[in-house]
């Protein structure tokens, strides 16, 4: 039976593809206050601004390609059972060939009905006011905003509990509830933490690889 590698990825995974990390040091996201564009209240106050914000993110996503790290993760499926749990809303893992990806924070290339949260559909064009579901409700980005429940978190917890190896790439693991996932892996699971500026050091079964995602994956492949 193949070893099960669980991979937790964040914004640093896609940075080398040219996608901006979630927000910069002053809390702005692409020049916007996060509370304006990533909360239900912001959407209620100014839906046009929010829809246009995600239209721009969608266009940006369609202009970039997976990087070497995405392809290296997909390639691991040859020898291992790999599950990727990502905080990213892009589809770069899937485009690189990874077959088992859980998106904790939603997906940029999907939209859902404001009247029925399980009515989700693929969407690659601009989304505007007046785009509605079959029941007439306005469509919104299929993104988990601040203050909203993370619907996939329980499945992610269950998957972490089955990990033989844990790999963390491009995330500081400080955004909850995603940050809590590390506590669900079996005790003493070998964990690799790939980050160019790690705030922690290797210790016991916890091994730090102080590199970018692309360089870190090259090293990881020699260690697995």
Give residue 35's pLDDT: 87
Give residue 43's pLDDT: 97
Average confidence (pLDDT) over 120-145: 97
Give residue 26's pLDDT: 52
Average confidence (pLDDT) over 143-167: 95
Of 29-33, 80-84, 168-172, give the lowest mean pLDDT range: 29-33
Give residue 198's pLDDT: 87
CB-hemisphere CA count at 13 Å for 94? Answer: 12
Active site residue ranges: 105
| Segment holding 106, helix H or strand E | strand 106-113
- Contact call for residues 120 and 106 (beta carbons, < 8 A): no
Whole-structure pTM value: 0.92
Average confidence (pLDDT) over 120-149: 96
Give residue 106's pLDDT: 96
Burial class (CB in 10 A: 0-12, 13-18, 19+), 204: exposed
Name the band, by pLDDT with cuts 50, 70 and 90, for residue 178. confident
**Crossing angle for the helix pair 213-223 and 68-75, nearest 10 degrees?**
20
Judged against a pLDDT cut of 70, whether residue 28 lies above it is answered with no
Four-point Cα dihedral 197, 200, 201, 207, nearest 10: -90
Per residue in 16-27, pLDDT (tens digit) is 998 865 555 555
Judged against a pLDDT cut of 80, whether residue 183 lies above it is answered with yes
Per residue in 200-211, pLDDT (tens digit) is 889 999 999 999
Name the band, by pLDDT with cuts 50, 70 and 90, for residue 33. confident
Give residue 176's pLDDT: 75
């Amino acid at each position: 039976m193949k070893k099960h590698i669980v991979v937790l990825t964040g914004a640093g995974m896609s940075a080398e593809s040219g996608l901006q990390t979630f927000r910069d040091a002053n809390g702005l996201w692409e020049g916007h206050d996060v509370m304006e564009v990533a909360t239900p209240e912001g959407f209620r106050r100014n839906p046009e601004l929010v829809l246009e914000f995600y239209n721009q993110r969608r266009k940006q996503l369609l202009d970039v390609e997976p990087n070497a790290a995405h392809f290296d993760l997909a390639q691991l499926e040859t020898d291992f059972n790999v599950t990727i749990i990502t905080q990213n809303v892009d589809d770069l893992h899937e485009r690189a060939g990874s077959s088992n990806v859980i998106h904790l924070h939603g997906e940029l290339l999907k939209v859902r009905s404001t009247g029925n949260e399980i009515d989700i559909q693929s969407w690659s064009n601009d989304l505007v006011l007046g785009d509605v579901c079959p029941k007439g409700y306005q469509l919104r980005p299929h993104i988990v905003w601040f203050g909203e429940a993370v619907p996939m978190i329980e499945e992610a917890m269950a998957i972490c509990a089955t990990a033989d190896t844990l790999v963390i790439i491009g995330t500081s693991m400080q955004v909850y509830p995603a940050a809590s996932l590390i506590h669900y892996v079996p005790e003493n699971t070998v964990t690799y933490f790939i980050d160019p500026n790690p705030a922690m050091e290797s210790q016991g079964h916890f091994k730090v690889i102080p590199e970018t995602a692309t360089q870190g994956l090259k090293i990881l492949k020699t260690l697995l």
